[in-house]
Structure 1
Amino acid sequence: MTFLYLSVRYAGIGYVVMYMLVNVPTISTTDTVSLIVYNACSWMSDIVNAILGVIMIARLYAMYQRSRKMLIFLIVIFLAIRIANAVMSAIITMQTLGEELVLSGIHQCLNVYAGNTQLMVSMTWMLDTVWEVLALCLAVWIAVKHFHELRQHSTTGIIRDCFTVLMQTHVSYFASFLAISCFQIGFFSPTLSADQYSLDTQIYLGVRKIFQIVELFVLGPRLILGVREYHAELVANYDTAIAMTYQERVHVSTSSSV
């Protein structure tokens, strides 16, 4: 988990740097270099999505009390979706071309999608959405079952436990993914797709890119960091309780000896 966390965290730095390089005029004047950097960004986002999928499988596996059937089910669905997305991403990369465009005397390299590339892009988003919705439904189901059991065995209500932390991080991550999906679906509207290089469309794509960076490289690592912070809090509270108990025993023994 530490390796996965560091991979996602520092991949975000490389992703942002490469995305900025694509928009630098001195870099984007070379069609080949700009297209390579753009494809590298696309593949990096796919790799990070795969890493986040592994993290999600580990979380659900723990939430379902290490159920072997659930683990096999999640791995089969995850591999089927990732393999299909990898094949379509490879086709999209081969069908993406770079063309030079001059705007106000500045040479820019623009990506041109040939064939049915737009259809495959939408299909990859649909498959990712299926995976995220499935993960959310499984997490909500087991969390509701867990909270119901807590309510039956506790007269003081539901206390904050690890399931609460898992659901908080999961819901915030899914909300960001849902926002990106809405932006992606909206981009296929005739109004935006008709002129992809207009100012309104570029602003729209910029806002979508910000949500994507936040989801992948901020909320994604929080899937691990939130649980670790919870465990660190438990350890700190446990150490505090041990110290207080020790002080009380010392005080009682000193008072009895006096």
Structure 2
Amino acid sequence: MTLVSNDPSWWSLINANLISSYFIVAASVGLMYDWALTFGQEVELIWRQRWSLMTFLYLSVHYVGIGFVVMSMLVDVPTISVTDVVSLIINDAINWTGEVVQVILGVIMIARLHAMYQRSRKVLTCLVIIFVAIRIADAVMTAMITVQLSGEEFVLSGTYQCIIDYTGDSMFLASMIWILGTVWEVLALCLAVWIAVKHFRELRQHSTRGIVRDCFTVLMKTHVSYFASFLAISCFKIGFFSPTLSVDIYSLNTRIYFGLAQILQSMQMFVLGPRLILGVREYHAELVANSDAATAMISIVFQERVHVSTGSSV
């Protein structure tokens, strides 16, 4: 049933959703700006290259972000009329899209670590087991949250609102999903740092240490940037449990806080995530163009199905 009201007491809710819509638009502008900046590189390094699993993963993550933002706008922008049933469907689609993107990013990370550890089957097996266990647990908890959600449609002072109610233990389940995601990211970072330090030590006396070191520098730069954004988002999510924010969820400061977290999450998933692949392929292209020694680095730069001395996969 739709509630229609012109009561001024609802204005705080209207303003809060309006502020949220501004941040959604800002996130979409940021995604489109990044797309415009990297489109030339994407055509050269992705579309014109041999298609592979990594090509598919890159395109999936990069372009699903546009659909993600559009769905968010349908739910949160007050001027768009969406029924409570449709809003719940869109909200569920957003939650499951986030799960799918996290799976894709995890596969990319596993491929990077597998190559950095010289295609070690033990490392690959351990990573796959841990990652699958975490993703199954996340999927189960996301399904439980989906079942507990409810929504109600409002028409308040000429604006359309759909209030999503997180009942039961939804907040606890959401926090558990965040904790498991943090465990995976920390594990991936530690493994990357460990193998990078090990390689740098071993290559001090190596004749090609400059090339290898540059490649590992590129790998660690993209990896650390990605993890830094995840760390920032995690810090913001810790703040969600603050009593100060939960007292008045419709206040200006609270909506700005939530909006900044949403922008950071969009950038981490749909900008820095794809650049885990794009940055490495850009380095490889420069190496091929400027050095005859490029063939010695094919494995480090992750060309699929090629195995030299250090392994390959991205």
- TM-score band w.r.t. shorter chain: 0.7 to 0.9
Does residue 142 of structure 2 align to residue 115 of structure 1? no
1:211: Cα distance to partner?
Answer: 0.2
Counterpart mapping for 1:202-217 below 5 A: 202-217=255-270
Q: 1:171 aligns with which of 205, 213, 224?
A: 224
- TM-score under structure 1 length normalisation: 0.88
Higher relative contact order (CA 8 A, sep 6+): 2
1:41 is aligned with what amino acid? Answer: I
Q: How far apart, in 2, do the equivalents of 1:130 and 1:155 lie?
A: 35
1:99 is aligned with what amino acid? Answer: E
1:136: Cα distance to partner?
Answer: 0.1
Q: How far apart, in 2, do the equivalents of 1:176 and 1:157 lie?
A: 28
2:173 is aligned with what amino acid? Answer: M
1:157: Cα distance to partner?
Answer: 7.5
Check whether the contact 1:151–1:158 (CA below 8 A) recurs between aligned residues.
no
Q: How far apart, in 2, do the equivalents of 1:28 and 1:97 lie?
A: 18
1:161 is aligned with what amino acid? Answer: D
Does residue 153 of structure 2 align to residue 75 of structure 1? no
Superposed CA RMSD in Å reads: 2.1
Give the corresponding residue for 1:245: none
Which deviates more from structure 2 when the two are superposed, residues 185-194 or residues 166-175? 185-194
Q: How far apart, in 1, do the equivalents of 2:257 and 2:275 lie?
A: 26
Q: 1:142 aligns with which of 180, 195, 213?
A: 195
Give the corresponding residue for 2:204: 151
Check whether the contact 1:27–1:33 (CA below 8 A) recurs between aligned residues.
no
Does residue 105 of structure 2 align to residue 52 of structure 1? yes
3-state SS, counterpart of residue 90 of structure 1: helix
| Structure 2: tracts of 5 or more residues without a match | 1-53, 295-314
Does residue 265 of structure 2 align to residue 194 of structure 1? no
Check whether the contact 1:151–1:157 (CA below 8 A) recurs between aligned residues.
no
1:27: Cα distance to partner?
Answer: 3.9
Does residue 53 of structure 2 align to residue 38 of structure 1? no
1:100: Cα distance to partner?
Answer: 3.3
What are the Cα deviations for residues 125-145 of structure 1, in whole angstroms up to 9, with x where unaligned? 000000000000000000000
3-state SS, counterpart of residue 119 of structure 2: coil
Q: How far apart, in 2, do the equivalents of 1:156 and 1:98 lie?
A: 59
Which deviates more from structure 2 when the two are superposed, residues 126-135 or residues 19-28? 19-28
1:26: Cα distance to partner?
Answer: 5.0
Check whether the contact 1:169–1:223 (CA below 8 A) recurs between aligned residues.
yes
Give the corresponding residue for 2:148: 95
Give the corresponding residue for 2:29: none
Greater helix share, 1 or 2?
A: 1
1:62: Cα distance to partner?
Answer: 0.1
3-state SS, counterpart of residue 115 of structure 1: coil
1:104: Cα distance to partner?
Answer: 4.1
| Structure 1: tracts of 5 or more residues without a match | 242-258
2:251 is aligned with what amino acid? Answer: S
What are the Cα deviations for residues 9-31 of structure 1, in whole angstroms up to 9, with x where unaligned? 11011111111111233545411
Give the corresponding residue for 1:254: none
Q: How far apart, in 1, do the equivalents of 2:273 and 2:231 lie?
A: 14
Q: How far apart, in 1, do the equivalents of 2:291 and 2:205 lie?
A: 26
Q: How far apart, in 1, do the equivalents of 2:124 and 2:81 lie?
A: 45
Between structure 1 and structure 2, the one with the greater Rg is 1
Does residue 271 of structure 2 align to residue 218 of structure 1? yes
Give the corresponding residue for 2:183: 130
Q: How far apart, in 2, do the equivalents of 1:134 and 1:155 lie?
A: 29
2:107 is aligned with what amino acid? Answer: V
Distance 1:28 1:138, change over 3 A: farther
Give the corresponding residue for 2:118: 65
